[in-house]
Structure 1
Amino acid sequence: MDRRPDALGQQRRRARFHVRAASRGVGRGAAARRPGIAGTVMNTMAATIVAPWTATLTEAQYLLTQYFLVLAGLALFAGFVRTWMTQGEVGARYRSAVVARLSVMGVAFLSYVYMLINLRLGYDLTVSGYVPNELAINAMVPRFMEWSLTVPLLSVELLTVCTLVGTAARRTRIAAMGGGFLMIFTGFLGAVVIGGGTSLTALLVCGSLCAVFWIFTMSVLIRQVRRSLPQLTVESADLLRSATIVLLSGWFMYPVMFMIPMLGSGGAWTTAMQIGYSVADIFVKVIFCGLVHRVAKLRTAEDVRSGLDVHPEAIWISSIKQSDAGLPREVFLDDASTVHHRRPRPPLSSAVAAAPTKMPGYTET
C-alpha cells in the first residue's frame, strides 16, 4: 500500500505546528519586552536632566547673556533712582507701595550685579567656547533668592493701592506674601537643591507644588483687585486693571523658563533662560511698578480733592494737573491745648523787614 499521501499530510501538520509555536514564542517575547505602566514610571523616576549652568556657551551666547543681564540691571537701577526721587509725590496712605517698590528695585539690582560678577568669573574662555566652572551656578541661581523677597513685595505693592483697609488688608497681604514665597521656594527646591538641578522627578513634583502656590497667589490678587475696581474712579480703575494684567502676564513667563530643562539642554537653552528671565524682570518690576506708582499718585490726588488727605505740593501726571497742594486747615495740638486756626498769609506788598534779633549778652562795639 502506498503511504506517501499520509506521510505528506503528517509533514504538513508538523510544519503548521512549528509555525504556531514560533508565533506564540514571538508574542511572548514581545510581551516580555514591552514595558508596563510601572516600568514607564520607574524610567521617568530615574531620568535625569542637565543643569543649565553646566552648559558650555559660544561667544555669541555669552555676549547675549551679558547684554541682557546688564540691560536688566541698568533698568532696575534707573527705576530705583526714579522711585527715590518721586517718593514725595505719593500720600502717606499709599507710602507702603513706595517702600515696597524701592525694596524691589534695590534687591533686584544688587542681585543682577552679583550675577554679572559671577558670569565673568564662572566661565573660562577656551578653544571650544566659554566653559563653566564651579562659580557658574551663581550666574543664575541667585534669581531664586531675589524672587523670594521681590515676589511678596510686588504683591504688597499691588494690594496697597486697592481699597482694602484694616484687618482684611493685613490678612490678605499675609496670604499673598506667604503664597508668593512658597511659590518661589518650592521652585528653588526642584530646580536647584534636590539632585543639584539634574532630577526630573524633583523638577516635576516641586514644579507642581510651585504651580499650586502660583495659582493661589494670583487668585488672591485677582479677587481683591476685582473688589476694588467698582469703588475707584474710572481712571484709577483702568490703571489698576492695567497694572494687574502686566504683573500676571509677566508671571506667566517664569513657568515657561522653568520648564526649559525638560525640553532640552545646551548653551542655546541656557541663553534662552537668561534672556527670558531678564525680560520678565524688566516687565514685572519696572513697568508694573511704574503703573502702580501712577495709581498711587492718582489716588492721592483724589483724596486731596475730596478732603480726605493733604499733600504739600500739586500733583501732576503726564503734564496734567490732578490736584492742587492740599494744606491742613487747622493745626491740632495736645488734648489740653487750644486748637489754633490757620491765619491767612499777608500779601507780600505790605511786608516790612523785621527788626534784627539780638542774642542775650550781645553788646555793640
Structure 2
Amino acid sequence: MHDDTIAPWKVPLTEAEHSVILYALAVAGLAMIAYFIKSWTSRNEVSPRYRTSVYASMGITAVAFLSYVLLVIKFDLGYDQHGSRWLPNSDAMLSWTPRYMDWTVTVPMLMIELIGVAMLAGPAARRVRFVGIGAAFLMITTGYIGGVVIDDGESLGGLALWGSISGVFMVVLYIVIIYVMVGSRRQFADGEAIGTYTNACILLLVTWFVYPIVFGLQGWGHGGAVTTWMQVLLSAADIAAKVGFGAMIHKVAKLRTAADVRDHEDTHPESVWWSSVKVSDAVLPPLSESVRASAQGAPRVKRPR
C-alpha cells in the first residue's frame, strides 16, 4: 500500500472509520427504500398530468436502493480486518464505483422529475428535457472517466482534465434548472407551490455542489479520515437530492393538482390534502353523452314481489 495513493478505495481504515462508513451507507439505502414505498402508496394522490414526476421519483429511489445494497455488500467484503485496522482488498473499489452507475441513471431522471411539474408543455418541455438529460448523463460519465477509469482513479491529471469537462456539463445543467425555476415562478397559480418548487430547485443546486467537492477531495487528501468524509458526504447528499427533493416535488404535484381542480381545468376522484388541510374537494369527471343517454334510456327491471 503506497502512502501517496489518492484513490479512496485503496486507503486503510480504523475501526471507527469503518463503522461510520457502514452506518452512512446503510442509512442512505434504507432512506431510499422507505421513500420508494411512500411514493408508491401515495401515487394516486397526484393527477395523471403530474404523475410522471412521481414515477420518476420511484425509479430514482429504486435504482439508488439497489446501488446502496451493492455498496454495503462490497464494502463489507472489500476490507479485511487486521488488528484494529481494516485493509482494502480487490473488492474495495466496488464500495465506490456503483455510485457512478447509480448517478448515470438517477441524475437524468431527476431532470424528468423536475420538469414533470414545471410550467412547460409540448415542444418546449421536450427540448428542455433533452438538454437536461443529456447534460446530466455527460456530467456523470466524464466524471467517472477521470475519477475511476484513468489510472484506476490515481491520476491527478485525469482528475483535473475530466473533472473540468464534467464541470462544463454541470454548468449547463445548472442553467437548465435555473431557467425552469424562473419560468415556473412566473406562471404558477398557487403561491405555496411557487415557494416549494423554488426551494426544491435550490436544494438540488446546493446539494450537487457536494459532488465536485468530494471529487476534489480525491485528488487532495489521503488517509482514512478523508475517505470517511467522502462516503458520509455522498450518502447525505444522495438522501437530500433523492428523498428531500422528491418530497418537495411531490408536494408541488399535489398542490398543482388541487389548483387545477379548483380552476376547473381537471378533475380528481379524491379530495386533495396537505398537512391535514384540504386544498381541494373531490371532483368526478362528467358523464359522456353516450353514457348519460344510455343511463336515461335503460329499461327498468321489475323486481319480483
TM range (shorter): over 0.9
TM-score (norm 2): 0.93
Q: State the shift of 1:95 in Å.
A: 1.1
Separation in 2, partners of 1:166, 1:341: 35
Per the alignment, residue 110 of structure 1 pairs with 66
The aligned amino acid for 1:174 is F
Q: Secondary structure at the match of 1:330?
A: coil
Q: Secondary structure at the match of 2:87?
A: strand
Q: State the shift of 1:309 in Å.
A: 1.0
Q: Secondary structure at the match of 1:157?
A: helix
Per the alignment, residue 323 of structure 1 pairs with 280
Per the alignment, residue 211 of structure 1 pairs with 167
The aligned amino acid for 1:152 is P
Separation in 2, partners of 1:240, 1:206: 32
Equivalent of 2:124, from 148, 168, 173?
168
Q: Secondary structure at the match of 1:265?
A: coil
Matched, 1:190 2:150: no
Equivalent of 1:199, from 155, 166, 169?
155
TM-aligned CA distance change 1:49 to 1:307, over 3 Å: same
Q: State the shift of 1:341 in Å.
A: 6.5
TM-aligned CA distance change 1:343 to 1:117, over 3 Å: same
The aligned amino acid for 1:286 is V
CA contact (8 A) 1:49 1:262 kept: no
Query: Which protein shows a greater Rg?
Result: 1
TM-aligned CA distance change 1:270 to 1:323, over 3 Å: same
CA contact (8 A) 2:60 2:109 kept: yes
Unaligned runs of 5+ in 1: 1-47, 333-337, 345-353, 357-365
1:159-188 residue CA offsets vs partner (Å, 9 max, x unmatched): 111110001101110110000010000000
Q: Secondary structure at the match of 2:170?
A: helix
Per the alignment, residue 273 of structure 1 pairs with 230
Q: State the shift of 1:330 in Å.
A: 2.4
Q: Secondary structure at the match of 1:187?
A: helix
Per the alignment, residue 309 of structure 1 pairs with 266
Matched, 1:159 2:115: yes
Separation in 1, partners of 2:202, 2:133: 19
CA contact (8 A) 1:49 1:198 kept: yes
Matched, 1:88 2:57: no
Separation in 1, partners of 2:293, 2:210: 56
CA contact (8 A) 2:15 2:84 kept: no
Matched, 1:340 2:292: yes
The aligned amino acid for 1:85 is T
- 5 Å-filtered alignment, 1:25-64, equals 49-64=5-20
The aligned amino acid for 2:200 is A
Unaligned runs of 5+ in 2: 297-301
Equivalent of 1:67, from 23, 30, 35?
23
Q: Which has the higher contact order (CA 8 A, sep 6+)?
A: 2
Per the alignment, residue 289 of structure 1 pairs with 246
CA contact (8 A) 1:329 1:342 kept: no
Separation in 1, partners of 2:293, 2:8: 68
Equivalent of 1:180, from 127, 132, 136?
136
Q: State the shift of 1:127 in Å.
A: 2.0
Separation in 2, partners of 1:61, 1:193: 26
CA contact (8 A) 1:49 1:200 kept: no
